[in-house]
Amino acid sequence: MPALEVYRNHGFDQATCYIWQSKYSAMEAADIHRMKDLEEENCQLKQKMIIFLLETICFVKPPKTC
């Protein structure tokens, strides 16, 4: 089965597959799994930071003035 047909069957554009190939071709499977884990952890940390900042901004009492 030609590669172009496989792309179409799975709903991928040929350009997308070339981008993925350039990004992941030099990586081992373990490297890809590690990268995915780090991306997920980064996303979770960003969400926690957003929650922290929103709580800080919304719930901090303004400083008292004279």
CA distance 62 to 3: 62
CA distance 21 to 14: 11
What would the pLDDT profile of 2-49 be if each residue is shown by its tens digit? 777 888 888 888 888 888 888 888 889 899 899 999 999 999 999 999
On whether the pTM is more than 0.75, the answer is: no
Cα distance from N-terminal residue to C-terminal residue, the chain:
79
CA distances from 53 to 26, 28, 46, 61 (A): 38, 37, 10, 14
